A = this chain, B = another copy of it.
């Protein structure tokens, strides 16, 4: 690892394996539909498949295509709305099982036009984002079936709940959210109730499948929740400049997702990030050339900046995986 050019994404092989095992024990097989958006890496998805999860969640068409390309297309869900489903339809004709979320007449029509065979009715369960009103779900399901689409069931992502630190609050709010989803499910029909995330993976007993993604690599935001998953991902960085009161490492805004705030560094106070720099005040002196581990506050937009994930055991890089699902 001492030879790795920095900044470089580093994944602790054992921690990753422990995270995957813990989740597979809690939600075996198809009870988990891992979300690939967090890691954007088919090699990591293959590890999840080896743990028994063969159905995946994607956020972009590029992710869907990339997963199918490497033979992980048994059952791919695009948990997002699209207005041009042509590429998805092509994917289905190539033999993958392709399902797309829909929440409006326009997105249903797009799915039918693009010849995507199956849909989930995306229901708003409290997060101000996509999803129809629960009372609209039945009508949309009817419209989808009339357009020749198979309606597999409902989807409802409780994104306003998954990150709440207090477990009891998560439980209470989840019950309200899932009541809305179950109400919609009754009018929609189908088998699937797709919901959940890393923060509710063991609380959401309504869902038939949980769309968790962050559990594999984890970040400082989710770490506050006391979940049985540990940080597996960090950005390896080199100290390039030392001043009396601070040091500068070569890991900046283009190597880190910043929406959840500054990253963390053990034994140091992080001051701020610039394009290619992290300014921090270490508790013990550091020297130019020292290597540090930077823990991203939010992994998803962090990984999306990088070309590779380096799997390490101790100081050894045992594998280099392409982050091959980037872009749209």
Contacts and interface: CB of A to CB of B under 8 A. Distances in A.
Interface of A: 5-7, 37, 59-60, 80-84, 103-107, 124, 128-131, 133, 159, 238, 240-243, 245-246, 248, 250, 253-254, 257-259, 271-277, 279, 287-289, 298, 300-301, 304-307, 327-328
Given A271-B128, A275-B300, A106 B253 contact: no
7 contacts: A80-B276, A81-B240, A83-B288, A124-B243, A253-B259, A304-B305, A305-B305
B240 A82 contact: yes
A128 B240 contact: no
Contacts of A240: 80-83, 107, 130
A6 B80 CA distance: 13
Nearest to A273: B259
Determine how many copies of this chain the complex contains. Answer: 2
Given A258-B257, A273-B259, A304-B305, A328 B5 contact: yes
B289 A83 contact: yes
A276 B129 contact: no
Chain A binding surface, main DSSP class: loop
Given A104-B242, A128-B271, A241-B130, A328 B83 contact: no
B288 A107 contact: yes
A4 to B, nearest CB: 10
A307 to B, nearest CB: 6
B241 A129 contact: yes
B81 A241 contact: yes
A238 B83 CA distance: 8
Contact of A289 (B7, B106, B129, B259): B106
A257 B254 CA distance: 8
